[in-house]
């Protein structure tokens, strides 16, 4: 299995703090123009000057590190603002400059260690959690409810008309593919580049073979058993590619009772109509069945497995960012 590159910045800061090195977390809290990193991007800084992550792609990291080391001395949070000049922006591959605001929080000071540990525990459990910092009062807490739009769109930011910053920490994205066919061979590397951790399910060992998907997670189980093992949560997309109801339908029925954000099924409009009828007979409602994207993928006139994979990935991202 290929291990995906995941953000471990809060975990690193907590480990440094507990190791006696001290640590501060720097978070992008606001941007204007062509800022190098999106709101919510983080940089961990240890008391020894070690770093992990980025808040600007290199433009202002040096200044942030200096401020973080100074903040470790007094334990207080700091709000920093930087204008990224056109020259600096060009140096990191941007077309023009921008402005970013960065919040620096020393662990054990402005950011209590137990709160950071609770955040890391939620991330390890794949529980979506929001870190809320009131910059006027200094209060910090975690929210596991509310902020639905922010969670769905992975969008950190300030609540409107307030100085309350909401940092969204979503679990890593997963993609479960039922059917180790040619489309899957194209979709898996594309999805991994886009930030998904893929797993391929196919009880037919000739299809679900390691030689066809080197280094990937392969399950040669019956699909309903496999998806139960893998889990279908709100950060999971399920794509059905076998064309065979005996294989697709068990996984589909599991998906329709789950919170997975995307369900896509290969096949023509006629195939989709037959699939919908089978789901109705299985007791699913019209709203349930409407969650199925079939024929799968955006209609871009795709021809061939690779282009179909592009259309599927594009539809997955559209649903993730904009809703069904």
Q: Point out the least confidently predicted range of 53-67, 157-171, 281-295.
A: 53-67
Confidence of residue 74 (pLDDT cuts 50, 70, 90): very high
Could you report the per-residue pLDDT of 150-206, keeping only the tens digit for each? 887 889 999 888 999 999 999 889 999 999 999 999 999 999 999 899 999 999 999
Please, what's the b/e burial string for 180-196 (b: 16 or more CB within 10 A of its CB; e: otherwise)? bbbbbbbbbebbbeeeb
**CA–CA separation, 56 and 245 (whole Å):** 49
What H or E segment, with its residue span, contains residue 280?
A: helix 269-281
Helix (H) or strand (E) holding 311: helix 305-322
State the Cα–Cα distance between residues 104 and 84, nearest whole angstrom.
Answer: 18
β partners of residue 60:
none
Q: What is the pLDDT of residue 5?
A: 41
pLDDT for 90: 47
Name the packing angle between helices 245-256 and 269-281 (round to 10°): 60
Measured CA to CA, the distance from residue 256 to residue 87 in angstroms comes to 51
The per-residue pLDDT for 30 is: 92
User: What is the C-alpha separation between 37 and 57, in angstroms, rounded?
Assistant: 7
pLDDT number for residue 23: 97
Can you give the pLDDT at residue 32? 81
As a CATH number, domain 173-322 is 3.40.50.720
pLDDT score, position 324: 72
How confident is the model over 236-263, as a mean pLDDT? Answer: 94
Report the predicted TM-score, pTM, of the whole model to 2 decimal places.
Answer: 0.74
Mean pLDDT of the 281-287 span? 95
Q: Is the Cβ–Cβ distance between 168 and 196 less than 8 Å?
A: no
In the chain, ranges of CATH 3.40.50.720 domains: 173-322
Alpha-carbon distance of 138 to 57, in angstroms, equals: 28
pLDDT for 4 beyond 60: no
Position 3 scores a pLDDT of 36
Q: 149 pLDDT band (50/70/90 cuts)?
A: confident
Whole-number Cα distances in Å, 212 to 126, 129, 266: 29, 37, 20
Q: In whole angstroms, how far apart are CA 205 and each of 214, 215, 228?
A: 14, 16, 19
User: Contact at 8 Å (CB) between 222 and 201?
Assistant: no
Is pLDDT of 290 > 90? yes
Q: What is the mean pLDDT of residues 201-225?
A: 93
How many Å apart are CA 200 and CA 205, to the nearest integer?
11
pLDDT over 50 at 112, yes or no? yes
């Amino acid at each position: 299995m290929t291990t995906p590159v995941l953000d471990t910045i809060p975990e690193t800061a907590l480990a440094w703090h507990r190791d006696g090195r001290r640590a501060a977390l720097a978070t992008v809290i606001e941007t204007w123009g062509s800022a190098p990193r999106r709101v919510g991007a983080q940089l961990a800084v240890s008391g020894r000057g070690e770093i992990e992550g980025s808040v600007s792609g290199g433009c202002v990291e040096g200044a942030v590190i200096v401020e973080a080391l100074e903040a470790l001395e007094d334990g207080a949070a700091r709000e920093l603002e930087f204008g990224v000049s056109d020259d600096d922006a060009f140096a990191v591959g941007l077309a023009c400059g921008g402005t970013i605001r960065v919040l620096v929080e020393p662990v054990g000071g402005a950011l209590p260690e137990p709160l950071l540990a609770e955040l890391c525990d939620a991330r390890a459990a794949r529980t979506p959690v929001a870190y809320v910092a009131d910059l006027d009062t200094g209060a910090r807490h975690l929210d596991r409810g509310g902020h639905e739009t922010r969670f769905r769109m992975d969008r950190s930011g300030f609540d409107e008309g307030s100085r309350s910053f909401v940092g969204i920490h979503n679990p890593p994205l997963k993609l479960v593919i039922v059917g180790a066919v040619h489309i899957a061979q194209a979709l898996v590397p594309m999805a991994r580049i886009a930030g998904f951790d893929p797993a391929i399910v196919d009880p037919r060992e000739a299809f679900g073979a390691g030689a066809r998907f080197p280094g990937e997670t392969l399950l040669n189980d019956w699909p309903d058993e496999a998806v139960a093992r893998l889990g279908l949560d709100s950060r999971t997309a399920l794509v059905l590619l076998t064309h065979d109801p005996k294989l697709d339908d068990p996984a589909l029925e599991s998906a329709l009772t789950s919170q997975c954000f995307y369900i896509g099924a290969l096949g023509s409009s006629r195939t989709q109509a037959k699939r919908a009828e089978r789901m109705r007979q299985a007791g699913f409602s019209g709203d349930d069945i409407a969650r199925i994207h079939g024929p799968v993928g955006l209609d871009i006139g795709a021809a061939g497995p690779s282009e179909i994979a592009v259309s599927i990935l594009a539809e997955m991202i559209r649903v993730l960012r904009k809703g069904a």
